[in-house]
Structures are given as structure tokens and as C-alpha cells.
Copies of this chain bind each other. A is one copy, B any other.
Amino acid sequence: MKFYDCATAPSPRRVRIFIAEKGLVIPVEEVDLAARQQHSEAFARLNPHRTVPVLELDDGSVLTSTAAIWHYLEHRYPHKPLIGCTAAERGRIVDLEWHIEQQGFMAVGESFRNKSKAFARHAFTGAHEYPQIPPLVERGRRRAVEFFAWLNAQLADQPYVAGDAFSIADITAIVTLDFARWIKLEIPDDHTALKRWQSEVSVRPSVCA
């Protein structure tokens, strides 16, 4: 296997944390997004979506989304489960992670990519050019603020996002919180549960990696 990563980007970080939590050792190839290496002929042949993360399997096939890489690795290396063991655990974790990705991670990305000059013609990751739409800067930010409040309530009476165990829901949540700093969005002081969780999760070796 080979993991195509980019040390500075939020999306592949979700895979990096997962791999570290599992204690897996997978060869890494760094993709320099700042140098637009994802648009190189070689990389576009590997992944026509021209995004990271990518996990290349031993048969040469590739997985090109965080969710797919997680489910593949969880199935192959079921020790230290991060997507639950029972049907109920799996359902709850997938549910929360999906909402965090769509309402948090995507919202921050929407705000960031529609503002930064570097993405004037690339409001989406990927092969196709889409110009920025300025009202999305504020809409994405507002959605992220609503997401913070929801996540704070979710953490009011349990240690981790999905209950007693660290899971992929925590991974997308902590990456989203750090990503939100790119749009200068910090956790409000009255979100005490979210701040408590952030301080605990941020010092995990996998999250620092």
C-alpha cells in the first residue's frame, strides 16, 4: 500500500490520524498541493479527481476519499476499532461523522475556498475549474458557527463525540476545528464542553502527528 498525503491539508490529515490511531505503518508519498502537483499528469492518472488523500492498494487500485480509506482499513485491520463494533455503534458513529463532515468540515471549506485568492478559479478541489461565489464566504462561516453550537451540545455529557470511545467522528471534528482557524473562527468561550474536548483530543499522539 501507499498513502498519498499532504502535510498541510485538512483532508488527508483525517487519514493520517486514523492510521496513527491504528498503529499502522504505511509508506507515504507527499503531494505538494502548493506546487499544484495534484494536477501533474502522473498524479491525474493515479487519481482523476486530482485530490488527496489517496490510498493505493497492492493490486494498483486506488481509494480516493477519506470515508473509503477508513472503511477499507477498518475492515482489514479491525483491532482498535474506530467505526464501532456492533451495528448500533457503527450506525451512530457513521451518522455523527457524516453530519460533522457535511455541516462542519464542508462549511469551513466553503468559506475558505471562496475567499482565498489562491483559489479564485478553484472553488472546489478537483479536476474542473469553478469560480468563487463571494456570498459563500459568509454562508459557510455562518454554517460553521451553527455547527460549533451543535457539537458543543453533543459533547455536554459524554467524553467523545459518539460516546465513550474515540472514533472517526472525533477525527473529522478535531480537523474541522483546526481548519476553522484558517477562516479565523475560534470556539466561543461559552462552548465549555467543546473546549474541554478540544484540549483533551488535541494532545493525542495521533492528532499531533
A interface residue numbers (CB < 8 A to B): 49, 55, 57, 59, 61, 63-65, 67-69, 71-73, 75-76, 86-88, 90-92, 94-95, 98-99, 124, 128, 130, 133, 135-136, 139, 142-143, 146
Contacts and interface: CB of A to CB of B under 8 A. Distances in A.
B64 A87 contact: no
B130 A133 contact: no
A87 B76 contact: yes
A135 B123 CA distance: 13
Contact of A63 (B55, B65, B71, B91): B91
Contacts of A135: 133
B75 A87 contact: yes
Contact of A72 (B57, B63, B73, B90): B90
